[in-house]
């Protein structure tokens, strides 16, 4: 039944292979717990699920992991109810654990400028790395979307790229003049690679598509060669893109569309990031702020 459910969400819900793999392990663990409790999967009561959550908490599973397992269980029993395997859904009233939302880490504009000064745009590797940085910051794409970006997805006339996001959903992202220039320069080098056959935009010097891990490694190396004291990741550039839009007055619905978020609550965290940034500016600049007074006391 679990295999049937996993096949169903892959074919109908278009969930990623990573999510399906995680759900498979989650449901396997839940099945083992039910077996130890001598409870059949289709005879589970809400109390069983609550006991499972308590057991996970005692085993020091993180809130995020427990909430993913709850999601897997709820989805499984919704499937069972829909296809007549059960008459009532034992997970319908089970709620996810509340957890504090961490503000996403991002780069300031001067830090992005510092990174973009490092690659040598007159070489294949340098032009590719510069284009990679510029496209990430210009579009706010996920690293999976960057790795899966194809030459045919680019439309220089409309200054846009069509990307395929989570759940195979397509959307348009936009190229700034700077990103477009960097990308066009890189493509001259890319197309000159002997026997390059890859349909993907970002490739290595053998013409093979860069993996998500390879892209993360490139950013890590750039950060190590800079004076930036932050662990730079592809997702950090996505956060930087969104934070910059919000701080410049973009409405949250537009930012949601550009990021490809299904739920606007996911996007709203960037309003909190901007408020936190403004709060830090106030603490540094206002004469009555605690940080300002403390600094003055230390200097005296």
Q: Exactly one of 166, 171, 208, 277 is catalytic; name it.
A: 166
C-alpha 41 chain-centroid distance: 33
* 103: in domain: no
Question: Do 143 and 219 have their domain in common?
Answer: yes
* 125: in domain: yes
Does this model's pTM top 0.85? My answer is: no
Residue that finishes a domain, picked among 41, 66, 82: 82
Decide: 216 and 210 in contact? Cβ < 8 Å.
Answer: no
235 catalytic residue (yes or no):
yes
238 catalytic residue (yes or no):
yes
272 catalytic residue (yes or no):
no
* 288: in domain: no
Q: Rounded to the nearest 5 degrees, what angle is found at the Cα of 254, between the Cα atoms of 248 and 255?
A: 65
Q: Exactly one of 85, 159, 235, 292 is catalytic; name it.
A: 235
Question: Do 266 and 213 have their domain in common?
Answer: yes
Q: Exactly one of 23, 79, 186, 270 is catalytic; name it.
A: 270
Domain that holds residue 187: 109-280
In this structure, what token pair is assigned to residue 129?
């790395």
Question: Do 27 and 138 have their domain in common?
Answer: no
pLDDT in tens, the chain (300 residues): 999 999 999 888 777 788 899 999 999 999 999 999 999 999 999 999 999 999 999 999 999 899 999 999 999 999 999 999 999 999 999 999 887 667 788 999 899 999 999 999 999 999 999 999 999 999 999 999 999 999 999 999 999 999 998 878 899 999 999 999 999 999 999 999 887 878 999 999 889 999 999 999 999 999 999 999 999 999 999 999 999 998 888 999 999 999 999 888 889 888 777 666 667 767 777 776 555 555 545 554
Question: Do 21 and 118 have their domain in common?
Answer: no
Q: Exactly one of 261, 277, 283, 292 is catalytic; name it.
A: 261
261 catalytic residue (yes or no):
yes
* 238: in domain: yes
* 90: in domain: no
Residue matched to tokens 């970006």: 149
- Give how many domains the chain has, as a whole number: 2
DSSP code string of 56-79? HHHTT--HHHHHHHHHHHHHHHHH
* 96: in domain: no
CA distance 135 to 218: 14
Question: Do 147 and 260 have their domain in common?
Answer: yes
Q: Exactly one of 74, 128, 142, 190 is catalytic; name it.
A: 142
**Could you give the dihedral angle defined by the CA atoms of residues 71, 72, 78 and 84, in that order, rounded to the nearest 10 degrees?**
-170
C-alpha 80 chain-centroid distance: 30
CATH code of residue 42: 1.10.150.130
* 275: in domain: yes
What contacts 74, CB < 8 A, 6 or more positions away?
91, 92, 94
CA distance 189 to 122: 9
Question: Do 116 and 72 have their domain in common?
Answer: no
Question: Do 145 and 246 have their domain in common?
Answer: yes
101 catalytic residue (yes or no):
no
């Amino acid at each position: 039944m679990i295999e049937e459910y996993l096949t169903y969400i892959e074919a109908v819900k278009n969930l990623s292979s990573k999510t399906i793999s995680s759900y498979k392990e989650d449901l396997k663990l839940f099945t083992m717990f039910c077996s130890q409790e001598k409870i059949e999967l289709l005879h589970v009561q809400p109390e069983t699920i609550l006991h499972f959550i308590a057991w996970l908490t005692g085993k020091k599973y993180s809130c995020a992991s427990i909430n993913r397992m709850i999601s897997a269980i709820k989805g499984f029993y919704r499937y069972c109810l829909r296809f007549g395997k059960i008459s009532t859904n034992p997970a319908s009233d089970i709620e996810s654990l509340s957890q504090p939302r961490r503000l996403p880490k991002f780069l300031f504009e001067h830090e992005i400028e510092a990174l973009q000064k490092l690659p040598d745009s007159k070489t294949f590797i340098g032009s590719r790395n510069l284009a990679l940085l510029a496209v990430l910051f210009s579009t706010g794409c996920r690293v999976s979307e960057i790795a899966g970006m194809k030459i045919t997805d680019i439309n220089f006339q409309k200054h846009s790229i069509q990307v395929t996001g989570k759940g195979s959903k397509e959307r348009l992202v936009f190229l700034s003049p700077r990103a477009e220039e960097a990308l066009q320069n890189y493509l001259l080098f890319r197309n000159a690679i002997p026997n390059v056959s890859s349909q993907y935009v970002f490739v290595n010097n053998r013409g093979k598509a860069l993996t998500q891990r390879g892209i993360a490694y490139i950013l890590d190396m750039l950060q190590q060669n800079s004076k930036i004291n932050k662990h730079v990741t592809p997702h950090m550039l996505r956060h930087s893109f969104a934070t910059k839009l919000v701080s410049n007055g973009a409405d949250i619905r537009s930012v949601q569309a550009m990021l490809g978020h299904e739920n606007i609550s996911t996007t709203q965290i960037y309003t909190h990031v901007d408020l936190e940034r403004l709060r830090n500016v106030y603490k540094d600049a206002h004469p009555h702020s605690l940080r300002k007074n403390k600094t003055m006391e230390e200097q005296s």
